[in-house]
Amino acid sequence: MPNTEHAIVVDRLCKRYGTLRAVDDISFTVNKGEVFAFLGPNGAGKSVTVEIIETIRNATSGKVAVLGLDVAKSKAEVVRRIGVLPQNFSSFDRITVRESLRYYARVFGCKADVDALMDLTNLRGKADARFNTLSGGLKQRLGIAAALVNDPEVVFLDEPTTGLDPHARRQVWDVLKGLKNRGKTVFLTTNYMEEAELLADTVAIISRGKIVAIDSPARLTEEHAEQTRLTLESIDPAALGLIAKMGFAPKPTSAGNICIPVRNPDDVRVILEEVQKAGLALPGLDVRKPNLEEVFLKLTDEPRDDGASGGPR
Amino acid sequence: MTPRIIAANLGVRLRCFYRERSAMFFTFAFPVILVLVFGTIFTKPEHLNFDLSVQDLSRSASSARFLERLTADQTFRITPVPIDVDATRYAKEHKQNLVLVIPKDFAALQARHLDPRGGPSSVPLTYVYDPSSTSVTTKIQLLSAMVAEANQKVTGSPPLFKLVPESILPERYRFIEFFVPGIIAMAIMTSCLSNALNMNAELRQKGILRKLATTPITRADWLVASMLYQLILSVVSTAAILVVSYAVFDVRLHIGIWLPLILVVEVIAFVGIGMLLTPFAKEAESASAVANAFLFPMMFLSGTFFPVEMMPAFLQSFAKLLPLYYVNEALRAAMIFVDDPATLQSVGVTAVFAAVVFAAGTFKTRWDEAT
């Protein structure tokens, strides 16, 4: 039975479309109060999984419980206690921000403080702007506000920053941090690794319908990412032998650079000194710390170039 | 079904409609324009005027008297044709579909006929006509009737056989009285079907439906809100049609309790059909195609513009399968013939149809899975 510490329990969930296993026997749990980031390439089964948890789609088999309630049996109750920002959120074109929020509040039958919601999402100045006049970032913020009208215990945000410019993205992140501080459980799907790294307590990566990794961003990086990498740009190929002799494993890259995995920053200094001693010119260099993006690319396959996006319809 | 949710949806729909002026124009003005155009074309004025070209070769006092009689009731407006031209060529050159030729010896022939000693004789009145013209038949019939009347007057005795018209309708019944109920039914059908399909395609395409699916709105809530919304539009649209019809054409229609009842039943039926058709119209482009595929046959075959009785028998049987036919029948029975049993029968058929469609529309329990 679902632990009360768990906001979401997914148990052996499968979704098949004909012979395609969009979601293939996955299980995981989301703790109350955490920000859970669900990552995966397009077509990996990400959106299907989320939509089953949100009660929009039916599972082929397996169980999903939200706040201890079976989503297949208690749809109405689950819907009342969660808030959803769907992918590409949209509202009625000629309805203003304030009217939209009032509408969703009435639909949920709750006395939402529309002004407070607009303050939280920084929409006060746009209260009387119609939806079709809003920019992408404002639309997403309205979507988040609309997901909060029923004061939900779990908030689902499906790609909240896709298609936004860097400023708009940071504004949405600020809103998400606010949600986290209020103790909401947030289920976030995203294509942006920095977003997951910045906001998430737990990251799950799905690939071809299966969960391939689940842990905190720091531990995932520690476990799966390469070490710190030093890249020497446009350098004489002679450096390759020189560095190999030092006990490192340099690899030439297609751009004519040399890439060297290193254990610590001191190794960088040693290598650079050696290069200088040998009298080789060094036009540029780059030192990169391990990050979630590498983990993601390593654990998920090359993006399948079959035009699939957003999963089966 | 939750009244609060239905009210919220109704409010949003009405706001959207009010703020979209072009939709408002087409919903309300289009049927009114149809009434004005068709009413003007097909409603015969009190005094019907036809042009008649007359070549008076006789140019006598008696021919002048004859022409005077012809124009007395203002049915014909006479255009004189010069006597030195050929009547056939004149008709062709001046695009006249009927030219009446009064012979040169008109006065003499008439005098001989009236003279008891003159023996049997008649006055030949030749008419040159263009059989390809559509209005010429009516003109020839009117002309024949007038000539017959003139003949009868000359003899001085009252006619032996006389036709006495007696209408089965309590009041005068013109084309416009037939047309207005048809347009009311058509306007409601068009608005219900195309709004249901377009709204759904738009919500689906934009992804609003995905958001609505994660709210407590049920399919029945949505359906009832749509019906109330369409009912409000229908009442306004019907009122506009009636106001214009009364003001411009002085129609004589009976407006009683049946009219609102028929509107309710029609709205339920067609919003329901629209809901059932949504799986075939997922994009905005296909939505209007699907709507038109239903609207046009229904419009032309259900007796909107002309009586079903004018169609061949197999099309008449087909018309009886169309819901709009029964709406038209019900509206005409209630508004023109004031025939309660006939109205009840047609309303009954429409109501059964509406109930089935409504049940089918709500039966699809998960309206969200399809997104």
pLDDT at position B110: 83
pLDDT at residue A312, rounded to an integer: 45
- Residues on chain B touching A84 (C-beta within 8 angstroms): 211, 214
Provide the terminal-to-terminal Cα distance of chain A, rounded to the nearest Å.
Answer: 32
Kindly state whether residue B142 falls inside one of the protein's structural domains. yes
Flag if B215 and A79 touch (Cβ within 8 Å).
yes
Same domain membership, residue B319 and residue B190: yes
Tokens 């219900």, located at residue: B192
For the sheet containing A284-288, what is the strand order?
A: A251-252, A258-262, A228-233, A284-288
Write the DSSP string, A157-208: EESTTTT--HHHHHHHHHHHHHHHHTT-EEEEE-S-HHHHHHH-SEEEEEET
Asked whether residue B322 falls in the same domain as residue B238, the answer is yes
Q: Are A157 and A139 in contact (CB under 8 A)?
A: no
A89 touches chain B (CB under 8 A): yes
- If one counts every other C-beta atom within 10 angstroms of the C-beta of residue B224, the result is 22
Query: To 10 degrees, what angle do helices B106-114 and B61-71 make?
Result: 90
Statement: residue A134 has pLDDT above 90: yes
Average pLDDT over residues A65-81: 93
Coil vs helix vs strand at B35: helix
Q: Answer whether residue B168 is part of any domain.
A: no
B323 found inside a domain:
yes
Q: Is the pLDDT of residue A310 over 50?
A: no
Same-domain status, B32 and B56: no
| B191, B70: one domain | no
Q: What is the span of the domain harbouring residue B93?
A: 50-151
What are the two backbone dihedrals, phi and then psi, of residue A200, each rounded to the nearest 5 degrees?
A: -85, 145
**Cα distance between residue B331 and residue A234, in whole Å:** 86
Provide the sign of the torsion angle of the four alpha carbons A255, A257, A259, A264, taken in this order. Answer: negative
Q: Is the predicted pLDDT of residue A302 greater than 80, yes or no? A: no
| Sole residue written with tokens 């007696």 | B166
| Residue B144 covered by a domain | yes
Question: A225-290: CATH homologous superfamily?
Answer: YebC, transcriptional regulation domain (3.30.70.980)
- ipTM rounded to 2 decimals: 0.78
| B327 domain residue, yes or no | yes
* Tokens 């190929």 found at: A237
A86/B16 CB distance under 8 A: no
Judging contacts by C-beta atoms under 8 Å, the chain B residues touching residue A131 are none
B59 and B26 within one domain: no
Check residue B165 and give its pLDDT: 77
B210 → chain A, closest CA residue: A86
Contacts of B211 in chain A (CB under 8 A): 84, 86, 89-91, 143, 146
Are B63 and B11 contained in the same domain? Answer: no
The domain limits of chain A are 6-222, 225-290
Q: Are residues B187 and B307 in the same domain?
A: yes
Task: Name chain A contacts of B15, Cβ cutoff 8 Å.
Answer: 92, 94-95, 99
Q: Which of B151, B183, B199 is the last residue of a domain?
A: B151
How close is the nearest chain A Cα to the Cα of B292, in Å?
25
pLDDT band at A1; cut points 50, 70, 90: very low
Q: A194-210, pLDDT tens digit by residue?
A: 899 899 999 999 998 99
Distance from CA of A295 to the nearest CA of B (A): 32
Q: How far is B19 from chain A (nearest CA, A)?
A: 7
Please say if the pLDDT value at position A280 is more than 70: yes
Q: What is the pLDDT of residue A91?
A: 92
What pLDDT is stored for residue B207 in this prediction? 84
Sequence-distant (6+) residues with CB within 8 A of B207 are: A86, A87, A88, A89, A90
Instruction: Determine the distance in angstroms separating the CA of A99 from the nearest CA of chain B, rounded to an integer.
Output: 8
Contact: A93, B16; criterion CB under 8 Å: yes
* pLDDT less than 70: residues of chain B: 44-48, 118-119, 168-172, 364-371
A143 touching chain B per CB within 8 A: yes
Residue B159 lies in a domain: no
Of A115-124, A180-189, A283-292, the poorest mean pLDDT is in: A283-292
Residue B119: CATH number of its domain = 3.40.1710.10
B180 with B76, same domain?
no
Torsion of CA B152, B158, B163, B164, to 10 degrees: 140
Instruction: Name A202's Cβ contacts closer than 8 Å, sequence gap at least 6.
Output: A30, A31, A34, A35, A36, A37, A214, A215, A216
Percent composition of chain A: helix, strand, coil (DSSP 3-state, to 5):
35, 25, 40
pTM: predicted TM-score of the whole model, two decimal places: 0.76
- Please spell the DSSP secondary structure of A111-145, one letter per residue: ---HHHHHHHTT-GGGTT-BGGGS-HHHHHHHHHH
* Beta-carbon separation of A91 and B211 below 8 A: yes
- What is the DSSP code (8-state) at residue B309? G
My answer on whether B28 and B144 are in the same domain is: no
Domain boundary among B117, B151, B185: B151
For chain B, what is the total number of helices (H) and then of strands (E)? 14, 4
For A107, the closest of B8, B15, B371 (CB atoms) is B8
Please tell me if residue B211 touches chain A, with a CB cutoff of 8 Å: yes
| Residues of chain A with C-beta less than 8 angstroms from the C-beta of B24 | none
Considering Cα of B236, then B238, then B240, then B243, what sign does the dihedral take?
A: negative
Cross-strand bridge partners of residue B293:
none
Question: Of B12, B20, B214, which has the smallest distance from its Cβ to A54's Cβ?
Answer: B214
Chain A to chain B Cβ contacts (< 8 Å): 72
* CATH number, domain A6-222, options 3.40.50.720, 3.40.50.300, 3.30.230.10, 1.10.3720.10: 3.40.50.300
Tell me how many degrees the CA angle B35-B36-B38 measures, rounded to the nearest 5: 65
Name residue A82's beta-bridge partners: A154
For A293, the enclosing helix (H) or strand (E) is helix A292-299
Q: Quick one: which of A39, A41, A70 has its CA closest to A53? A: A70
pLDDT top residue among A259 and A155: A155
B284-301 vs B258-277: helix crossing angle, rounded to 10: 140
B192 and B212 assigned to the same domain: yes
- In this predicted structure, what is the pLDDT of residue B46? 56
Residue A228 in contact with partner chain B when CB distance is under 8 A:
no
CB contact, 8 Å: A304 with chain B? no
Residue A214 has pLDDT above 90, yes or no: yes
Between CA A82 and CA A70 the distance in angstroms is 13
B181 and B105 inside one domain: no
- For residue A94, which residues of chain B lie inside 8 Å, CB to CB? 15-16, 19-20
Tally the domains of chain B: 2
| Residue B169 falls inside a structural domain | no
For residues B242, B245, B248 and B254, what is the CA-based torsion angle, rounded to 10 degrees?
Answer: -90
* Residue environment code for B260-286, b if the CB has 16+ CB neighbours within 10 A, otherwise e: ebbbbbbbbbbbbbbbbbbeebbeeee
CA distance B228 to chain A (A): 17
Contacts of B368 in chain A (CB under 8 A): 56
Residue B329 lies in a domain: yes
- A103 vs B contacts (CB less than 8 Å): 8, 11-12
Q: Does B255 share its domain with B278? A: yes
